[in-house]
Amino acid sequence: MRRLFVLLVLIAICGLGVFWFITRPQTLPENALAGLTPDVAHGESVFWAAGCASCHAAPDAKDDAKLILSGGQSFPSDFGTFIAPNISSDPTEGIGDWSALDLANAMTKGVSPEGQHYYPVFPYTSYNKASLQDVVDLHAFLATLPASTTPSQPQDVGFPFNIRRSLGGWKFLFMSDKWVVQTTTTAAEERGRYLVEALGHCGECHTPRNLLGGMERDHWLAGGPVPGSKGSFPNLTPAALTWSKEDVIYYFETGFTPDFDSAGGHMALVIENLAKATPNDRAAIADYLQIVPSVK
């Protein structure tokens, strides 16, 4: 019995060690951004493509107020209600004292400057495919935006989902830096893949999730329920999206569908971002949507 007890203790210690290793916050090397020069003008285009204002502007902010990234919007889920934090240039309440590497670790690794895991409501599972040059450019642009002293609100997440360390296990299971659509045949399709799968993080809403909140990548962009609502995100694969390429591009630019409906809800904010994209980028997204595997 004593030997059995000792054996069980050793197994438990080994298991705890494996858990601690797997769930550790992982960050980029200190020299990851070496040689990258920020381009503020390009950073603005990254800002709109990544949808930063759509989540981090104050609720109901309009026009130039959307550039004040004071946070406060709430996002209900099956795991609790998440509240977007202040990411303005304020050094105390916002992220004004972050380095470009801090932002890169947050966006591509889901790790805070303090070394804590972020909840995946922050779409780092998509941003992790963004180029580090784009992150550096975005950091430079964010520094030009107004500061806000509005404190970030705490996340309304209960036990056991409030155990940050366990998010390392979630990342181990569900975080991948591989493209969903592995093969592209044109530069436009490749650009569209980058905008949809990385910066635009379209799959975060339009892909169904499993019981633990991981995206079901084999049902990529096939739609799914809207958390905290009776509505659903539409299927964007060719099985359901039968619009012409021109119709898709026009929708991205104006928010109007071929049957004279218009974008509503959070999609209206996405359309505002897409309207600021170049015509080539809107066309590239339309090209990409045509090569996504069909899912009924």
Give CA angle at 80 (77, 85), nearest 5°.
Answer: 90
| Stretch among 49-58, 113-122, 250-259, 262-271 having the lowest mean pLDDT | 262-271
Q: Residue 6's pLDDT band (boundaries 50, 70, 90)?
A: low
Measured between alpha carbons, how far is 20 from 24 in angstroms, rounded to an integer?
A: 6
- 31-38: long-range contacts (C-beta < 8 A, 24 or more apart)? 32/101, 32/104, 32/132, 33/100, 33/101, 33/104, 33/132, 33/135, 33/136, 36/100, 36/132, 36/133, 36/136, 37/136, 38/100, 38/136, 38/137, 38/139, 38/140
Please name the residue ranges forming H helices in 90-202: 100-109, 124-127, 132-142, 167-174, 187-193
Average pLDDT over residues 165-180: 93
Residue pLDDT, tens place only, 221-234: 999 888 877 788 99
pLDDT over 70 at 43, yes or no: yes
What's the CA gap between 285 and 71, in Å, rounded?
28
Q: What is the pLDDT of residues 132-144, one digit of tens each?
A: 999 999 999 999 9
Identity at 247, one-letter amino acid code: D
pLDDT over 90 at 16, yes or no: no
C-beta pairs of 230-235 under 8 Å, 24+ apart in sequence: 231/265, 233/205, 233/206, 234/206, 235/206, 235/295
Q: Which of 285, 196, 289, 277 is nearest to 238 (CA)?
A: 289
**Whole-number average pLDDT of the chain:** 92
Which candidate, 137, 147, 179, 124, places its Cα nearest to that of 46? 137
Strand segments, DSSP code E, in the chain are 74-77, 80-83, 224-225, 232-233
pLDDT at 263: 81
Specify whether the CB–CB gap between 202 and 236 falls below 8 A: yes
The number of helices, as runs of H, and strands, as runs of E, in the chain is 12, 4
For 8, the enclosing helix (H) or strand (E) is helix 2-22
